[in-house]
Amino acid sequence: MSKSLSDIQTELLGTFFEESLEGLQQLESGLLALEESKGENADTINDVFRAAHSIKGGAGSFGLSEVGTLGHAMESMLEDFRSRRTVPTREMLAALLEGVDWLRNALDARMAGRSLPIDGIHAFCEQLETLRGAAPKPEPAKEHPVTAQALALSIDFLPVPRMLESGNEPMRLLRELSRLGTARTTTDVSKLPPLAEIDPSLCYFSWHIELEGSDVSKKAVEDVFCWVDTDAEIRIEPLVARSDEPEVVLPPVVGPAVVPALNPLHEAKATFATAGEARADNAIGSIRVGVDKIDLLMNMVGELVITQSMLGVIDDESRLDSRRIEQLREGLGLLARNTRSLQESVMRLRSVPISVVFSRFPRLVHDLGQQLGKQVELKVNGQTTEIDKTVVEKLGDPLVHLVRNSLDHGLETPELRRAAGKSEIGVIEISAYHHGGDVVVEVRDDGRGINRERVIERARQLGILGQNEAPPEDAIRDFIFAPGFSTATAVTDVSGRGVGMDVVRRNIRALGGDVFVETTVGKGTCISMRLPLTLAIIDGQLIRVGSHAYVVPLLSIIESVQVEPKRVSKFQGTHELYRLRDKLIPMIELGQVLGMQSWQRSEESLMMIVEADNAPIGLLVDELLAQQQVVVKSLETNYDRVVGLSGATILGDGSVAFILDTTAIGRLVRGTPSGAHAA
């Protein structure tokens, strides 16, 4: 035995936390689905029940009694649904959702090495019980006081012949009995048939046992036989009538309201928390990693081993001539590259899908919508977008803030929406996608938009803008991120008191990103957060311009066409537009934008239509090369920021190729400042 059993429990606690948090997610989405379907879906009820059940079962085994209590109360109600004793009502589902919050808080507390006070949990569980229509039940009876008195019992054990088929073996049960005390066993073999007729799968014996010892009790004996009580006749009687039989202490009958205060167990539970601190680390420190990422890592290690053996050959040769030195240099170069790749792969292990953050929004939007009396549809896009774990963890709060803002200030009430000729149901869309070396996370609503005049008015009130000073063109983006800024006419308890947007921006900037705002009065607002992801691996299209290779992110490419001169028209003498089907697309000579003086447009130019700020632009390129995954390297960290380039990558032959930032190129050509953000 290398580890103690409690060590094992501690080690697995982290896994349990992870599982439970996943289970909670399931529980929550299941409950929301039930609410939608008016509780009609048996599969969902089963899933939800199972989730609650697992949490409860695990909690008990890991000594998290308050979590178990919550789980049990919720499971009981769900069992009513499952067995069709009760049809789920709105109140019940709302209470269960509240239970999810309780569970989450209880688990969070445990992860932080604390535990929630049991009183609140008991009160909540009683609420659930009341909703179930059952009167609050008194605390379960405590174990009877253990008596040190030796007790003697007479036991008759008469198995049915087929008992062995259930896997129960009488000899083992008798052995267990003898652990309780001194056993005198008599075996009755009278039913044993002649040898030729014996069927080895049947049991022909029965036993009489006299058992005496300090651990002997009727309950202990019943426990031994509990699995065979239907496969055997069992009679347990006191062996000697004793006058000093221990008196049975009945549990005190107390009303449920006073029980929590009286029960000393609750104090014990509260103090148990300190032992949990080491465990909390386990939970925070672990991460689930996809097998593909580990495979990639294994590949890298494979490469490393090959390089090492290559260098090893050189080592065996005693003479170092120029050829060997060249080989050595090459090997070392390879080693350096392998090491870097390996480092990047390991860093990639840290990335997790953004769904970790997104998954909490269906519930949030549902609850807030109800609270505010607004009808909302939530759309979530790009859940699988991967982002560093640290970034994900810090993204949660700003995102919650933005979504709350959208719901509270952005979306109008159903009446106002109807009056404005919009659908009564507002839409909030949360999206995540890769954009060059960045990950963009957006919160978009189709609400009232931000009113520029009111922003300016408010800025003057706050003294950010002088009374006679002319407002800047980008007043909105300049002011709404100012500390203390809020145009909300009334402070609601949903979104805060104007401490919001500046905090959002500060948090995002702390991660090396930035926040942008786009808004149209009457149409809606889109707040996007750009987060750098220097280690992102993107799918890229390699192109040739002049003698250089560049990478265009595959996601931003719409299509590529051969340029037909008759479709080109001049605009203002210099700008060229290309007519593609019904659209006019601005043509951009990449060679010029990239500053290649000697570049000449060839006769057979190709035009690649790419997305730039939701509008297509056409990039003239000389040749389309391969498509491949490229590792995005930051230019900022290695050189300096270059407008129009989002990063660089190293190609298979070791040469460097720049990654084009199509959005920035579009802005460059249109004349909009490329850094158009709320700075």
Q: Quick one: 16 or 358, whose CB is closer to other proteins? A: 16
Site for other proteins in 579-608 (CB under 8 A): none
| Least distance (Å) between residue 411 CB and other proteins | 37
Reduced to 3 states (helix: H, G, I; strand: E, B; else coil), residue 262 is helix
Beta-strand pair 583-589/615-621: parallel
Reduced to 3 states (helix: H, G, I; strand: E, B; else coil), residue 98 is helix
Q: Quick one: 29 or 451, whose CB is closer to other proteins? A: 29
Question: What are 25's two structure tokens?
Answer: 């997610």
Q: Which of 29, 33, 41, 60 binds other proteins (CB under 8 A)?
A: 60
Binding track over 73-112 against other proteins, x by CB under 8 A: --x-------------------------------------
| Least distance (Å) between residue 154 CB and other proteins | 21
Residue 53 near other proteins by CB under 8 A = yes
Residue 132 near other proteins by CB under 8 A = no
How many CB atoms sit inside 10 A of residue 268's CB? 10
CA distance 150 to 217: 9
Q: Quick one: 166 or 339, whose CB is closer to other proteins? A: 166
| Span interacting with other proteins, options 15-23, 32-40, 314-322, 587-595, rule CB under 8 A | 15-23
| Least distance (Å) between residue 89 CB and other proteins | 24
Q: Return the closest-CA partner of residue 268 out of 115, 424, 437.
A: 115
Residue 58 near other proteins by CB under 8 A = yes
Q: Quick one: 63 or 120, whose CB is closer to other proteins? A: 63
Residue 468 near other proteins by CB under 8 A = no
Question: What are 669's two structure tokens?
Answer: 């050509």
Q: What is the number of residues in the chain?
A: 679
Residue 226 exposed, middle or buried by CB count within 10 Å (0-12, 13-18, 19+)? exposed
Reduced to 3 states (helix: H, G, I; strand: E, B; else coil), residue 173 is helix
Question: What are 629's two structure tokens?
Answer: 């995954």
Question: To which residue do tokens 């499971």 refer?
Answer: 75
Residue 291 exposed, middle or buried by CB count within 10 Å (0-12, 13-18, 19+)? exposed
Binders of other proteins: how many residues, by CB under 8 A? 43
Question: To which residue do tokens 């529980």 refer?
Answer: 27
CA distance 118 to 73: 14
Binding track over 160-189 against other proteins, x by CB under 8 A: ----xxxxxx--xx-xx-------------
| Span interacting with other proteins, options 87-95, 219-227, 279-287, 511-519, rule CB under 8 A | 219-227
Reduced to 3 states (helix: H, G, I; strand: E, B; else coil), residue 6 is helix
Q: Quick one: 83 or 274, whose CB is closer to other proteins? A: 83
CA distance 267 to 277: 18
CA distance 528 to 178: 72
| Span interacting with other proteins, options 53-61, 422-430, 484-492, 646-654, rule CB under 8 A | 53-61
Site for other proteins in 409-438 (CB under 8 A): none
Residue 322 near other proteins by CB under 8 A = no
Question: What are 184's two structure tokens?
Answer: 């005198």
Residue 50 near other proteins by CB under 8 A = yes
Q: Quick one: 167 or 255, whose CB is closer to other proteins? A: 167
Could you tell me if 185 and 174 are in contact, meaning their C-beta atoms sit under 8 angstroms apart? yes
| Span interacting with other proteins, options 13-21, 506-514, 531-539, 552-560, rule CB under 8 A | 13-21
- Measured in degrees and rounded to the nearest 5, phi and psi for residue 596 equal -90, 110
CA distance 615 to 663: 9
CA distance 120 to 651: 60
Residues linked to residue 185 through DSSP beta bridges, in sequence order: 209
Residue 16 near other proteins by CB under 8 A = yes
| Least distance (Å) between residue 477 CB and other proteins | 47
Q: Which of 25, 44, 54, 649 binds other proteins (CB under 8 A)?
A: 54
Q: Which of 12, 160, 239, 328 binds other proteins (CB under 8 A)?
A: 12
Residue 15 near other proteins by CB under 8 A = yes
Q: Quick one: 62 or 481, whose CB is closer to other proteins? A: 62
| Least distance (Å) between residue 234 CB and other proteins | 14
Binding track over 220-259 against other proteins, x by CB under 8 A: ----x-xx--x-----------------------------
| Least distance (Å) between residue 47 CB and other proteins | 8
Residues linked to residue 204 through DSSP beta bridges, in sequence order: none
First to last CA, the chain: 62
| Span interacting with other proteins, options 42-50, 361-369, 459-467, 645-653, rule CB under 8 A | 42-50
Reduced to 3 states (helix: H, G, I; strand: E, B; else coil), residue 266 is helix
| Least distance (Å) between residue 193 CB and other proteins | 20
Residue 41 near other proteins by CB under 8 A = no
Question: What are 366's two structure tokens?
Answer: 């549902």
Question: To which residue do tokens 């009687």 refer?
Answer: 237
Question: What are 242's two structure tokens?
Answer: 């004793």
Where on the chain is the footprint of other proteins (CB under 8 A)?
Answer: 1-5, 8-9, 11-13, 15-16, 19, 47, 49-50, 53-54, 56-63, 68, 75, 164-169, 172-173, 175-176, 201, 224, 226-227, 230
